[in-house]
C-alpha cells in the first residue's frame, strides 16, 4: 500500500485490518454487549407526555429515538446519498478539503482520534457554516445540490434540536416562560452548530477494529441520522443501580432520529441528565454512514447549572464554562474534562 499524505488511509481498499487499526480486545470488550435491542426509549417529540418521556430518557440512558420529528424522508435520503458520494470520491480528492490544524471543518479522521494510540475504522467530514468553499473543491462543476441539501438539513436539525431542548428543560421543572428566559434557549437561534458526516467502510475483520471509540459528545445535544442496514451505534447503559454497565445497540429505525445528551447539558442540568457514552462498531458487509448534528451554546455564552435546579438541590455541582473553553479542556483531559469543572469532589 503506497503511503499517503497526512497519515490518511483508504479504508475502502484493505483485505486485512492493518496493525495501525487493530485495537486491544481489552478496550473493545471493556463491558459486555447486550444481545437484544429494544432498550432505548422511543419518544414522539410532538406527542402527549413528550416532555416527561424525554426527561426520563435523558436521565437514563441519556439517549432516545425521536419520532414524529417532521424531517422528510426525501431530505434524509438526500443527505445519506450525498454523504456516500462524498466518501466514495478518491482519497486524493477528499484530501483537498482536509481538516487543517486548529479548524473543526473539513475531511479527516474523527476529531477524537488524537486521544487514542490506534486509528479508528472511519472517516469524517465536519461542516460548520457555509458548505460552498468545500463543495466547490470536491465537485468544481456540480456542487449546488450538495450545498442546498446540507443547508436545508442544518435548518431542519436546528428545529428538531430546539424542540428537544425545550422538552428537556420543561421536564426539569421549568415553565414555558422560564424556558424562553434561559439564555441557552433564547439564544438557540444563534447557537453554535456543526454537522458531522461519518463513514464506516465495510471492515474485513470487524472484531479487531472500532468505528468510533467510546466518548461523550461535548455540546448540549446531538441529533443523529444513521443509514439503514447493519447499524453500529451502541450506548453504555447502567443496569439499575448495580453499577454494572452494558453496551446496548441502537439500530437504525426508519421513523426515528437518535438524540444523545452531551456534556454541556449534563452541566446545565446540574448532573440530572446523563451525558451518554457511546461508540460505533463496524461490520463486514455494510458501508455505514451517519450524520451527527451537534448543538451547543454560542461561543460567548457561559454555561452553568440552571439557577432553579441549583436551588432545588445541593447547590451547583459545576462551575460555568463556555463551549470553546470546554473544548480546550477536552483537548487536554478528554473524558476527565467535566471532572475538572466540579466544585466539590
Ligand X SMILES: O=C(O)CCC(=O)C(=O)O
Q: Is 278 in the site for ligand X (CB under 6 A)?
A: yes
C-beta closer to Fe ion: residue 123 or 217:
217
Handedness of CA 329, 323, 217, 180 (dihedral sign): positive
C-beta closer to ligand X: residue 125 or 134:
125
Grid coordinates in use for 145? 445540490
Burial class (CB in 10 A: 0-12, 13-18, 19+), 35: exposed
Residue of 52, 6, 65, 105 whose CA lies nearest to 231: 65
Residue of 121, 90, 93 whose CA lies nearest to 201: 121
Q: Is 216 in the site for ligand X (CB under 6 A)?
A: no
For residues 212 and 222, give the distance between their C-alpha atoms in angstroms, rounded to a whole number. 15
For residues 150 and 334, give the distance between their C-alpha atoms in angstroms, rounded to a whole number. 29
* Interactions with Fe ion, residue window 216-255 (CB under 5 A): 217
∠ CA 232-168-241, nearest 5°, is 65
CB of residue 84 vs ligand X: minimum separation in angstroms? 14
Q: Contact at 8 Å (CB) between 303 and 268?
A: yes
CB of residue 126 vs ligand X: minimum separation in angstroms? 9
C-beta closer to Fe ion: residue 266 or 305:
266
Q: How many amino acids of this chain bind Fe ion (CB under 5 A)?
A: 1
Q: Is 226 in the site for ligand X (CB under 6 A)?
A: yes
Q: Is 184 in the site for ligand X (CB under 6 A)?
A: no
C-beta closer to ligand X: residue 179 or 295:
295
Q: Is 270 in the site for ligand X (CB under 6 A)?
A: no
For residues 53 and 340, give the distance between their C-alpha atoms in angstroms, rounded to a whole number. 31
* Among 292, 295, 321, 337, interactor with ligand X by CB under 6 A: 292
C-beta closer to Fe ion: residue 213 or 321:
213
* Among 127, 149, 267, 280, interactor with ligand X by CB under 6 A: 280
CB of residue 223 vs ligand X: minimum separation in angstroms? 11
Active site residue 288: yes
Residue of 195, 101, 205, 94 whose CA lies nearest to 151: 195
Q: Is 123 in the site for ligand X (CB under 6 A)?
A: no
What positions carry a catalytic annotation? 288
Provide the binding-site residues for Fe ion, judged by CB under 5 A: 217
Provide the binding-site residues for ligand X, judged by CB under 6 A: 196, 198, 212, 217, 224, 226, 232-233, 278, 280, 290, 292
Amino acid at each position: 500500500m503506497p503511503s499517503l499524505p497526512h497519515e490518511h488511509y483508504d479504508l475502502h481498499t484493505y483485505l486485512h485490518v492493518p496493525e495501525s487499526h487493530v485495537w486491544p480486545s481489552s478496550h473493545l470488550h471493556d463491558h459486555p454487549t447486550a444481545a437484544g435491542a429494544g432498550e432505548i426509549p422511543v419518544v414522539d417529540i410532538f406527542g402527549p407526555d413528550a416532555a416527561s418521556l424525554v426527561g426520563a430518557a435523558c436521565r437514563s440512558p441519556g439517549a432516545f429515538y425521536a419520532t414524529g420529528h417532521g424531517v422528510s424522508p426525501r431530505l434524509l435520503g438526500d443527505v445519506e446519498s450525498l454523504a456516500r458520494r462524498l466518501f466514495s470520491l478518491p482519497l486524493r480528492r477528499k484530501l483537498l478539503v482536509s481538516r487543517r490544524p486548529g479548524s473543526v471543518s473539513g475531511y479527516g479522521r474523527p476529531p477524537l482520534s488524537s486521544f487514542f494510540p490506534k486509528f479508528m475504522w472511519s472517516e469524517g467530514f465536519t461542516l460548520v457554516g457555509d458548505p460552498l468553499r468545500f463543495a466547490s473543491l470536491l465537485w468544481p462543476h456540480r456542487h449546488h445540490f450538495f450545498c442546498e441539501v446540507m443547508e436545508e438539513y442544518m435548518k431542519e436539525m436546528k428545529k428538531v434540536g430546539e424542540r428537544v431542548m425545550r422538552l428537556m428543560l420543561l421536564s426539569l421543572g421549568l415553565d414555558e416562560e422560564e424556558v424562553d428566559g434561559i439564555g441557552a434557549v433564547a439564544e438557540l437561534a444563534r447557537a453554535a452548530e456543526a454537522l458531522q458526516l461519518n463513514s464506516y467502510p465495510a471492515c474485513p475483520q470487524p472484531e479487531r477494529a472500532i468505528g468510533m471509540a467510546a466518548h461523550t459528545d461535548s455540546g448540549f445535544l446531538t441529533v443523529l441520522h444513521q443509514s439503514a442496514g447493519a447499524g453500529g451505534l451502541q450506548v453504555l447503559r447502567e443496569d439499575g443501580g448495580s453499577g454494572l454497565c452494558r453496551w446496548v445497540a441502537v439500530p437504525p429505525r426508519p421513523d426515528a432520529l437518535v438524540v444523545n445528551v452531551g456534556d454541556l447539558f449534563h452541566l446545565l442540568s446540574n448532573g440530572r441528565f446523563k451525558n451518554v457514552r457511546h461508540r460505533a462498531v463496524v461490520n463486514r458487509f455494510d458501508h455505514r454512514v451517519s450524520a451527527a448534528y451537534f448543538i451547543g451554546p454560542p461561543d460567548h455564552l457561559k454555561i452553568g447549572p440552571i439557577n432553579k435546579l441549583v436551588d432545588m438541590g445541593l447547590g451547583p455541582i459545576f462551575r460555568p464554562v463556555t463551549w470553546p473553553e470546554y473544548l480546550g479542556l477536552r483537548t487536554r483531559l478528554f473524558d476527565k474534562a467535566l471532572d475538572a469543572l466540579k466544585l466539590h469532589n
